[in-house]
Every structure is written in structure tokens, then in C-alpha cells.
Structure 1
Amino acid sequence: MHFAEKIQSLRERVFEQISPLITEDFIYLDLPYHNNIGDTLIWEGTLQFFKQLPHRCTYKSSVATFKESRIQVDGGIILLHGGGNFGDLWPDHQRFRMDIIRKYPKHRIIILPQTFFYEDQDLMKQDAEVMAKHPDLHICARDNKSLAILQEHFGKNNILLVPDMAFCIPKQLLDKYRIAETDKTLILKRKDKELSEASIERLAPKGKHVEIRDWPSLEMSKAPSKRLYDILNNKYTSRSMVDWYAHHFFKNKLLNMGIAFVSQYKEIYTTRLHVAILAVLLHKHCFFLDNSYGKNSTFHDTWFNDLEGISFLK
């Protein structure tokens, strides 16, 4: 399957699986006010998906800016941001997610596409027990392995298999930020707790201009989120002002940075899932490597195994 056909099929699946659940206006929580451009791509893709719906997003916030007063007491629909932080590897987002599920049993809650990973199996059982008590909880798995975990341990909730929301980003927006391609090769080596023990540097092709990088937003001495949190920590600034700034400036800055960054390279090797996803959206050949717990390989096997232009290196 070629890039354009694959992108279209994944967008259609997102819409077919999620849109029937959104039957009225809704709110969108746990927005990623941090410097990982991958989460910003999910954020933008989710907003683009909303444009196809007949209902409105009436409130959106991060964990830090969330106001309980913005949630109707008697019910409604809550969407929780997707990504790769469901489980115990990134606990702040998981605690917020579980808190929302406990506090709002009268609401329909939709967890947008997530990769699921627990090191602590007892914690997974505890979370599953809490979620089983919610009468209208819908969980989107981002890959087949996550789907199997959910079906085995979270089977009392409605479980769906849905690709990453970043695939909903349209070509027009990508073209707005992309820059001219060079002859350079990117080796994208993540530097956080998800880095695999395998050495990606040894894959550097000989005789080519190779750059070993991470997302540029994570390499900057002054992170893009600093301005956002300066605003948040100002006692004269409302949380709604922080959300406004994040939506209109912070998000767009990271989008511009990420799309321009990936678009300049002719060839890409990556340990980050969203560099591979962005390469697909930009129709670029990509060599894809796993992260520490198999997130990338399971995503590849679920959605990319019939895609020309993506080579998974085991």
C-alpha cells in the first residue's frame, strides 16, 4: 500500500470508530502542555478530527489548567487525550485519567487511542476494577497488543482498535510548515526512559551526511514550554488564558518546529513513533526501530506492515 492510500484508510477508521460515540457537545482533557512534539501532533490531529463532527468542543484543558467547574454535573461527554501514557510509565497522566473516571460516572468518557503498558500488574488490576465500575467508558487501543491487554483485563468496558489521531492532520497544514528537503540523513535517538538498549548509532549509513538528534524542542536550552508555565505561574493570569495561549501559540510553534525538522531529511531512522508517523504523513521513507517496551513494533505490525516506505529494523 502506498502512503496516500494508507493515510486515507487510517483517517477513515478513526472517524468510523469514534464519531458514533460523540452524540452531543463535548469537552477534551489532558492536553499535552509539554515539549514532546509527538503529543502535539496527536493534539492537532484530534482538533482536525473535531472539525468533521456535527458537535462542538466546549472546553479543553491540560492536567495543570483543569477546572472542575467547567464540567456539567448531570452528564455529558468527556474525551481524554490519546498517546502512549496509559499505565505506570508516565504516572501523572494516568492519575488524572483515573481521577476523571472515578469522579464522573454519569458522563460518557472516551479515552482516545492509547498504547497500554504496565510494569506493575497489581496496579493494572486495580485500575481495571475502577474502570469496570464506570457504566459508559469507551477505550481506544492504538495497537493489537494493547487491544489484547484491554480485552483480557478491561473487558467490562467498550474496547475499540483505533489508529493514532495524528493521521487526521491534513496535507494543507503539513505543507504550511514543511521546508525543502536536503540530502541529510536523520538518526532520531530518543533520550528518555523509553530508549531501547540497542545502539541506533551503528546504523548510520557510510558516506552520508548524518545527524543524530532528538525532537528539537527537547534539545533547546530554553524549552518552548517555559513561556507557557511562566504564564501559568503568574498569579494574575487565569487558567483560561493559559489554555488560550497554549492553543493559539504554543501548539502551533511545536507543530512548525516538528514538521520543518522532519521534512528536511531525505532518509530517516527513528526510535520515536511520531517521527515515523510524521514521515508517513510527509511521504518519506523511514527506518523504524523499537522503544524500550515494544510500542513501536506493535504499532508497526498493526498498521504499517503492508505499507511501502516503512522498514522495521528488529
Structure 2
Amino acid sequence: MLNPKANPSAEMTAEMQLERTRHEKLSVELMARHEVLLDLIGCAPFHYVDIPTHGNVGDLLIMHGTLAFFRKHDLVPKLIAPYFAYDPCWIAPEDVIVFHGGGNFGDLYPYFQELRERIVQNHRENRIIVLPQSLHFSSIEKMKQSAQLFRMHADVHICVRDQVSYQMAQEFTDNVYLLPDMAHQLYPMRVAGAEPSAGSLRISRVDDESTQQSGLRNMVSTTVTDWPEFVGAREVRINLFRRAIGAFYRRGLGWSANSILVRLWIAYSGRLIADAAQLFARHELIVTDRLHGHILACLLRKKNIVLDNSYGKNSRYVEAWTLNSELVMLQKSNAAIAAANTRFGLNAAAI
């Protein structure tokens, strides 16, 4: 009779099952942490503001995760709108304002912050909730100016994704909550008809948050891309959605644009996410300095190596939430690549 312990395949299968079990437990715990939002929103009518209308798959994952959370708990937004097609005059006295999460709280992307500040200043009787964000200000002076505005509002609630952001947010309000990214509400993601996975996929930033770490640039991957390259020619259709919503809004038809066109946009952006999931599913390992490259890999239960962005957002997030998953390796130095090889049983050439 064969001894199962002498069978390397049996040992590997048992180890993989243990990894999935640990990862699944972690993922369920992350989703459960969002339930604090139920008390914050309560039964009040609410606006979901600042949704993304661009091809950044990470932001789209956050949006769809947020909408999935709403559906799970029978929450129906009174209005869903992007920042450029939202009129604060629509806010009724009883409305709660729920701002989209992500990484745009600060001065790196000023348009989004300016909308939040304007509503905080002019609607002090309405509860305001900022869904999980990573905070970043390049200027301490700008941070203090923004915090002063927020402090004038007594009912602002800011959710943050990491400990550094948690400390910063204390300057803005006493109501600060440490929560994971809303995209985790999409767990588990499944890809229909996915082919067996092989090789590695590298998602590497080309924007203002890119990093110069040589560890990522020196890796040899099966496939290399970034969200803009992945979206490619579909950016034309994305721009049409954005222009159409903006045109309706400028003609005084903003409410109709957000009721009809935004719903169409949400459906279309779901197809972009499905395509990204197909791409990830074709690879055994994901290597990325995109936070949502990491999160999408986790949603699909894929092994992944995470590198930092320009200001440490990724490492802060992984250390706060996902590092205990045996599918995740955080690289803070080039030596970590060798450690990842050993941990995931991969050859250097496979990365």
C-alpha cells in the first residue's frame, strides 16, 4: 500500500488546499469588516459620488465592489454620479453623501479633493462618508488647509486603508475607520472557461505613482502590461461615455445622465473587469506595483508578488490586510525575489 507522505503530488495538493483555506478565511474576514458602513449609512437616502469613468481597472474594481456591498445589504443609492456630473444642489437635508474610495484623497489628484472640500464646506448638516482611501499629500501646508475645512464639519466619517493614512486622517476628523479596500467585496471571482494557467503576468505602473525599483524592471515575465495598455483601443468608447455624461450634465440633464448613462457605464465597465480577470487567470503568478493588480490576484486566488508604488501605498496596504495570505509576497528589496522563488516553488525564469 502506498504511503501518501511519500507522494510529492499528494503533499503539494494538501499544501495548496491549506493555502486556499487560509486565503479564503482572510478574504471573508476582510469583507465582514465593511459592515460598519451599515450603521453609518443607516436607512437614510444616500448619494454614491465620484465614481470612476476611466479605464483604470483598479478604480473600476473598487466601484463594482462597492456596488456589490450595496446589493448584499439591500442598499439602493438615490443617485450615482462621477465628480464632473454631480451638482451639490441635489443634496436634500436628509441625504447622506458617500464618496468613492481609492487613492485620490490628497493633492495628487486635486479635482476629486476639491469636490469633497466643497461639499464639506457647504453641507454641514449632511452626514459625509469617505469610503476606504489611502491618503497622500505632497505638501504639509496643503494637508493642514484641507484638514481645517474638514474639521468645520461635525459629521464627517473617513475610512482609510492603512495605518499611515489612519494617523493622517486624525487631522481631518475624530471619526476615522481602518477598513480594507471595497474591491474585496467581489471575492471570490471566477472566470468561466479559463485555460490552465502558466507563466507570470507583470502589471507595471507607467503613471505618476510608478516606481524605479530595479527588482520589478529586471524580472522576465511571460506577459507585461499596465492598465492603460490593457484597455487599449477601448479607451475611445470609455471617452464617449465620459463625454456623453458630461454633455448631458452641462445641458441641465445631469440627473437623467446619472440615472441612465451611468447605469450603461457600470455595465460596460463590468466587461472590462471580466476581461482583466481572464488575463490574470491565464497566468500562474502575478507580479505588480499596482495595488489592484495585487487585489485582483487575491480575488482570483492567484499567487502574487507586490512591489511598492512611489509613496509606499502598496506596502502599507499589504502589511495592514493581506500579508498573512500564503498567496502574497511583499517585495521590499531585490533579495525578496529569491525568497518568492523558494516560497512559490518557481524558477527565476518563470518570474
Normalised by the length of structure 2, the TM-score is 0.81
In the alignment, is residue 212 of structure 1 matched against residue 224 of structure 2?
A: yes
Residue correspondence of structure 1 range 36-47 to structure 2 within 5 A: 36-47=56-67
For residues 8-47 of structure 1, the aligned pairs below 5 Å read: 8-15=28-35, 17-24=36-43, 25-47=45-67
| Partner amino acid, structure 2, of 1:211 | T
Structure 1 match to 2:217: 201
SS at match of 1:308: coil
In the alignment, structure 2 segments of 5+ residues that lack a partner are 1-18, 333-351
Cα pair 1:150 1:159 within 8 Å, conserved: yes
Question: Alpha-carbon deviation of 1:297?
Answer: 0.5
| Secondary structure class of the residue paired with 1:175 | coil
Correspondence 1:167 to 2:179: no
1:274 corresponds to which residue? 292
2:242 aligns to what? Answer: 229
Alignment of 1:55-94 (within 5 A): 55-72=75-92, 74-94=93-113
Once residues 30 and 177 of structure 1 are traced to their aligned partners in structure 2, the CA distance between those partners, rounded to angstroms, is 31
Q: 8 Å contact 2:50–2:99 — kept in the other structure?
A: yes
Deviations 1:95-148 (A, max 9, x none): 111112112111110000000011111010011111011011000011111112
Deviation per CA, 1:43-66, whole angstroms, max 9, x where unpaired? 011011112335431111001221
**Paired residue secondary structure (2:60):** helix
Give the C-alpha shift of residue 234 in structure 1: 5.0
The equivalent of 1:158 in structure 2 is 175
Q: For 1:265, what is the secondary structure of its paired residue?
A: coil
d(CA) in 2 for partners of 1:252 and 1:54? Answer: 20
Q: Determine the structure 2 residue equivalent to 1:100.
A: 119
Asked whether the equivalents of residues 178 and 260 of structure 1 are also in contact (C-alpha less than 8 Å), the reply is no
- SS state at 1:32 partner: coil
Which range moved further: 231-240 or 39-48? Answer: 231-240
Cα pair 1:36 1:218 within 8 Å, conserved: no
Can you give the 5+ residue segments of structure 1 that lack an aligned partner in the other structure? none
Superposed CA deviations along residues 223-254 of structure 1, whole A, max 9, x for unmatched, are 141221342355687523332321232x2222
Cα deviation code 1:239-293 (max 9, x no counterpart):
23332321232x2222222222222211111010001001111111001100000
Mapped to 1, the partners of 2:158 and 2:307 lie a distance apart of 27
Measure, in 1, the Cα distance between the counterparts of 2:197 and 2:267.
30
Task: Tell whether the 8 Å contact from 1:216 to 1:258 is kept in structure 2 after alignment.
Answer: no
What is the one-letter code of the residue matched to 2:181?
D
Change (3 A) 1:160 1:105: same
Q: Greater helix percent: which structure?
A: 2
* Paired position in structure 2 for 1:263: 281
Q: Which amino acid aligns with 1:9?
A: E
Runs of 4+ aligned structure 1 residues displaced above 6 Å come to: none
Moved more, 180-189 or 109-118: 180-189
Please state how far the C-alpha of 1:92 moved relative to its aligned partner: 1.3
1:252 partnered with 2:267: no
Rounded Cα–Cα distance in structure 1 between residues aligned with 2:132 and 2:126: 19
Mapped partners of 1:124, 1:218: distance in 2: 34
Mean CA deviation greater in 179-188 or 156-165: 179-188
What's the % identity of the aligned pairs? 31
**Counterpart Cα distance in 2 of 1:54 and 1:103:** 29
Residue equivalent to 1:134: 153
Separation in 2, partners of 1:181, 1:77 = 46
Aligned residues: 303
What RMSD in Å do the two structures reach over aligned CA positions?
2.0
